[in-house]
Structure 1
Amino acid sequence: MAALVWPFQGKAWAAELRGERSAADPMLSLWEEWKAAALKTETLCRKQQRLETQLVQDVGFPRARLRLSDNGEKVTVFSHDAIEDIYGSDPKMATLRAEAEAELAAHQALWDAADEMIGYAAARREEEEAGDREQDLVDALPATPATSLAGIASKLDVVLHEGESWEECTEFPWPHIRSALRDLVRVGQAVEPDVFMPGSDRQAPFPRKHQEGCWVRVSKGPAASLG
């Protein structure tokens, strides 16, 4: 996987200007908080994905192999609900159901032990908390006034990062918002060339949460499969 390029990393030359402007414009203050929260969420997302991949490789998703009495075929399931759906409450299936429940519980215990050792669940909780904080800041954006061109640009910068379905999305209104941000940055830099404009340091498109699926969780493993 290619290294993520965040448009606001490595910009120490603009930090002082941003700090001065943030004190005067409440939207720039919010943008600074959001920027830090978004980077933290992305970092923790990568961490929990790496740990989940390790768990799947080492232990595998908790599962059980069910025997279907009518034709001898077997099916792999990943939840107690799936076992119930297949075997139901038929007394004739009680033994098979108990065997499947025990197999699933044993595999879940292996997963939980490995999880505790590497810290996957804790990393997932951290990511969810960071994501909640990021979302709180996004939710505060409409009610936060911008008192400068840089503040207005920061609103568009946040909207582009949080809203586009994929990088350089061609669907309305994303090309129009990107165009408006570029225009605003150009005008702002012409009017106040010494002022940092959010969005002016975008050297590559934002990585998209939607594309990477960081908020899509697998809670019960894959769907049941025959074989």
Structure 2
Amino acid sequence: MADSEDSRTVPAITLRKRNSNGFATEKIPHQIDRRNLLPIAARLLSTRTAEANSQPRAPGPTPVRELWPKWYALYQQHMRACKFRKKLEMEMLEDHACAPIALQIEGSDRPVTVHSYAEIQRLCCQLDAGQIAGVRASLRQRRRAWKKADERLGYSAAVALEQDLAQQAGITGRVMGIAKPFSLMEVAAKLHCLIVTEDPALKLEETPWPELRTMLKDLILIERRR
């Protein structure tokens, strides 16, 4: 990646005067690196697509300029849902009554974690009848505790919402991926979606990911010169 990608300088992004359509234009920093590439691209694309979508369009397939805001809104909702689900998951696991069962099996240095009756069945040859009965009773008790905690916290609903948003964002992203772009801004939108989906932390170093990040940065700089 170019030196600018590895720079430690992150200049502030400030709102500038409004253009003739009433949309706030942004001052894009000269220094764009890994930490600010995607946020800068998202803010610029939000402004540009809002400007473009304020104008009437000809009938036909939904253009990239309309698909990107829908996809990005779904992506952000999915990220929030994922964070919320993880928070609830931690709360569920903090309740020791809901935690998996840890068994110390003779001849094993580490305890074996049991989550289901199928796992208990696989361990039958290593446990005696009393141990098996006790583990099954403990598992029933913990499943009841898990159900009560789930009803109280809404964990299953949070999981379902996260999965639904992931599916919607995935479908919208795939539709945008095959949509025909009609401007450099729409090319940047497709590229932004691809990178966010496949390399959100910008850590992939094998080709073509460094080159794709450079391309997105180049497109941002071209938009800045408009």
Normalised TM-score (structure 1): 0.68
Q: Deviations over 1:154-201 (max 9, x none)?
A: 0111111111163353321111011112222333443xx2xxxxxxxx
Residue 100 of structure 1 deviates from its aligned partner by 1.2
SS of residue in 2 equivalent to 1:135: helix
CA RMSD after TM alignment: 3.3
Residue 114 of structure 1 deviates from its aligned partner by 0.7
Could you tell me how far apart the structure 1 residues matched to 2:148 and 2:70 are? 36
Amino acid at match of 2:143: Q
Amino acid at match of 1:186: L
Residue 95 of structure 1 deviates from its aligned partner by 3.6
Find the counterpart in structure 2 of residue 29 from structure 1.
66
Residue 61 of structure 1 deviates from its aligned partner by 4.4
Q: Deviations over 1:46-85 (max 9, x none)?
A: 10000001111123544335475789x9754222222111
Find the counterpart in structure 2 of residue 81 from structure 1.
118
- Alpha-carbon contact 1:149-1:184 (below 8 Å) kept: yes
Q: Any gaps of 5 or more consecutive residues in structure 1? A: 194-227
Q: Aligned match of 1:49 in 86, 105, 113?
A: 86
Q: Aligned match of 1:124 in 155, 159, 162?
A: 159
Q: 1:18 to 1:61 in 2, by over 3 A?
A: farther
Find the counterpart in structure 1 of residue 145 from structure 2.
110
Q: Deviations over 1:100-143 (max 9, x none)?
A: 11111101110110111011111111000000001111221332
Over the matched positions of the two proteins, sequence identity in percent amounts to: 23
Normalised TM-score (structure 2): 0.69
- Alpha-carbon contact 1:67-1:96 (below 8 Å) kept: no
Amino acid at match of 2:176: L
Compare relative contact order (CA 8 Å, sep 6+) and give the higher one, 1 or 2.
1
2:208 counterpart of 1:183:
no
Q: Aligned match of 2:95 in 58, 61, 71?
A: 58
Q: Any gaps of 5 or more consecutive residues in structure 2? A: 1-34
Could you tell me how far apart the structure 2 residues matched to 1:182 and 1:74 are? 50
2:190 counterpart of 1:155:
yes
SS of residue in 2 equivalent to 1:142: helix
Q: 1:125 to 1:159 in 2, by over 3 A?
A: same
- Alpha-carbon contact 1:62-1:104 (below 8 Å) kept: no
Amino acid at match of 1:97: I
Could you tell me how far apart the structure 1 residues matched to 2:64 and 2:43 are? 20
Amino acid at match of 1:130: L
Could you tell me how far apart the structure 2 residues matched to 1:131 and 1:125 are? 10
SS of residue in 2 equivalent to 1:141: helix
Find the counterpart in structure 2 of residue 20 from structure 1.
54
Find the counterpart in structure 1 of residue 204 from structure 2.
169
My pick for the range that moved more, 43-52 or 135-144, is 135-144
In the alignment of these two chains, the number of paired residues is 185
Could you tell me how far apart the structure 2 residues matched to 1:77 and 1:136 are? 36
Q: 1:146 to 1:171 in 2, by over 3 A?
A: same
Q: 1:106 to 1:34 in 2, by over 3 A?
A: same
Q: 1:70 to 1:127 in 2, by over 3 A?
A: closer
- Alpha-carbon contact 2:49-2:65 (below 8 Å) kept: no
Could you tell me how far apart the structure 2 residues matched to 1:22 and 1:42 are? 32
